[in-house]
């Protein structure tokens, strides 16, 4: 069983001793920092004088700061002020990694770009999270939703003619994960060469990578991939079904010939099992119009709990349909360290997903709770003064 016991000297985290300076806001940049912070790096979040504006977002943005800013220390600096700018430059001079997601050219104009900082700190790894990599679009302003639309993901998610953004900041977060991969690769390269490097990750190219399977599908089949709601399924049973409980749904996938036999046996579908024409998957896909109505009727006649028990017993893929907030009561996440306890600025406790990794049976935990605005500013400044002496 995993846990998220905080690291100690006897139980060091993977990135202990790595210092990261983070000039970020919103989701993509902070997601890079939170992953590296969860892995044990010392992440110093540089905020404007009144704090990261993400702290105050309403509606769908109200969860951004709590989710992506644990395991960081906060210092507030006015980068238009000469003294504060000098402090920021001093922080970067002693850093292993700098992360930023400002518009192209913003930090360069402040003397906080890669060329200037790496001249003083040759081992620095500088990670820029942008909308686009090098090319005709590189200076455009982008958002997660912008690149989902122009990168084909929204087309694939919604029904025909109704492009739909995915129900999470999936490109921001995945783009941040690619940023982390780049940073870790650059750290390994530095071990061999002693030199730092500039890493860039982006929203648009991340979206293109995510829909790459659909691009490949066109090459293989000669036909463009259809949006997921109307796609031709690769399997006969791969659907959401109503159950006997009002409003309770269940996803079930039967994705191999062996699973088909198990499914038919468990649910006493003897006539299906004896139909030799349906023994192979592709023939079942062609017969979906005959198979699915029967399964819909079967599932609608039984309570969801009974169906779950049968499916779990026989080892078939299934999933109840739940809301994200219901995961805080999930027995698996609660038993295995999958949730960590944090506190909002008003003291409210919140349980949020931990990093989905285990190291020697342990899940990364909380080294620093969500920081208050400039909570660590005095300590960080004092540390800089001590090194200057």
123 shares a domain with 73: yes
* Structural domain includes residue 7: no
Same domain for 172 and 53: yes
Within the chain, which residues score under 70 in pLDDT? 1-12, 388-389
Q: Which two tokens stand for residue 313?
A: 């017993």
Domain end position, chosen among 299, 322, 345: 322
Q: What is the pTM of this model?
A: 0.92
224 within domain boundaries:
no
374 and 284 in a single domain? The answer is: no
The alpha carbon torsion through 296, 297, 301, 303 (nearest 10 deg) reads 0
Q: Report pLDDT for 3.
A: 47
Same-domain check for residues 154 and 254? no
**Interval 292-350: pLDDT, tens:** 999 999 999 999 999 999 999 999 999 999 999 999 999 999 998 999 999 999 999 99
- 173 with 279, same domain: the answer is no
| Rounded Cα distance, 108 and 95, in Å | 17
In a domain, 330, yes or no: no
Cβ burial 170-185 (10 Å sphere, 16+ → b, else e): bbbbbbbbbbbebbbe
The CATH number that applies at residue 303 is 3.30.1540.10
When divided into structural domains, the chain yields a total of 2
As a whole number of angstroms, the distance between CA 41 and CA 188 comes to: 15
What CATH number is given to the structural domain containing 357? 3.40.50.10540
**pLDDT for res 11:** 54
252 plus 292 within the same structural domain: yes
Do 50 and 125 fall into the same domain? Answer: yes
- Among 297, 322, 347, the domain-final residue is 322
Q: Which domain holds residue 343?
A: 19-211+336-388
């Amino acid at each position: 069983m995993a846990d998220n016991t905080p690291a100690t000297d006897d139980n060091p985290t993977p990135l202990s001793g790595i210092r990261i300076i983070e000039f970020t806001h919103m989701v993509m940049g902070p997601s890079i920092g939170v992953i590296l912070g969860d892995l044990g790096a010392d992440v110093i979040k540089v905020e404007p004088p009144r704090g990261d504006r993400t702290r105050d977002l309403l509606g769908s943005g109200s969860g951004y700061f709590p989710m992506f800013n644990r395991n960081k220390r906060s210092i507030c600096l006015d980068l238009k002020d000469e003294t504060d700018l000098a402090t920021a430059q001093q922080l970067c001079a002693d850093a292993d990694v700098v992360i930023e997601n400002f518009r192209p050219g913003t930090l360069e104009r402040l003397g906080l770009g890669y060329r200037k900082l790496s001249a003083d700190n040759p081992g620095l790894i500088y990670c820029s999270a942008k909308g686009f990599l090098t090319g005709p679009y590189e200076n455009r302003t982008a958002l997660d939703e912008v690149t989902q639309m122009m990168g084909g993901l929204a087309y694939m998610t919604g029904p025909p003619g109704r492009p739909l953004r995915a129900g999470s900041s999936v490109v921001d977060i995945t783009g941040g994960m690619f940023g982390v991969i780049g940073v870790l690769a650059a750290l390994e390269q530095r071990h061999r060469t002693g030199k730092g490097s500039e890493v860039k990750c982006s929203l648009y190219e991340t979206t293109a990578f995510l829909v790459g399977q659909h691009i490949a599908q066109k090459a293989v089949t000669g036909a463009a991939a259809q949006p997921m709601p109307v796609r031709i399924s690769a399997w006969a049973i791969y659907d959401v079904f109503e159950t006997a409980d009002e409003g309770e749904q269940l996803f079930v996938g039967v994705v191999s010939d062996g699973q088909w036999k198990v499914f038919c046996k468990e649910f006493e579908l003897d006539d299906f099992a004896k139909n030799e024409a349906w023994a192979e998957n592709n023939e079942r896909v062609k017969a979906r119009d005959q198979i699915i109505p029967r399964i819909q009727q079967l599932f609608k006649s039984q309570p969801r709990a009974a169906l779950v028990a049968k499916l779990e017993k026989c080892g078939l893929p299934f999933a109840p349909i739940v809301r994200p907030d219901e995961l805080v009561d999930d027995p698996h996440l609660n038993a295995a360290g999958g949730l960590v306890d944090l506190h909002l600025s008003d003291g409210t406790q919140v349980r949020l997903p931990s990093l989905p990794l285990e190291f020697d049976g342990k899940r990364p935990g909380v080294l620093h709770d969500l920081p208050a605005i400039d909570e660590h500013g005095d300590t960080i400044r004092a540390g800089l003064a001590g090194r200057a002496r």
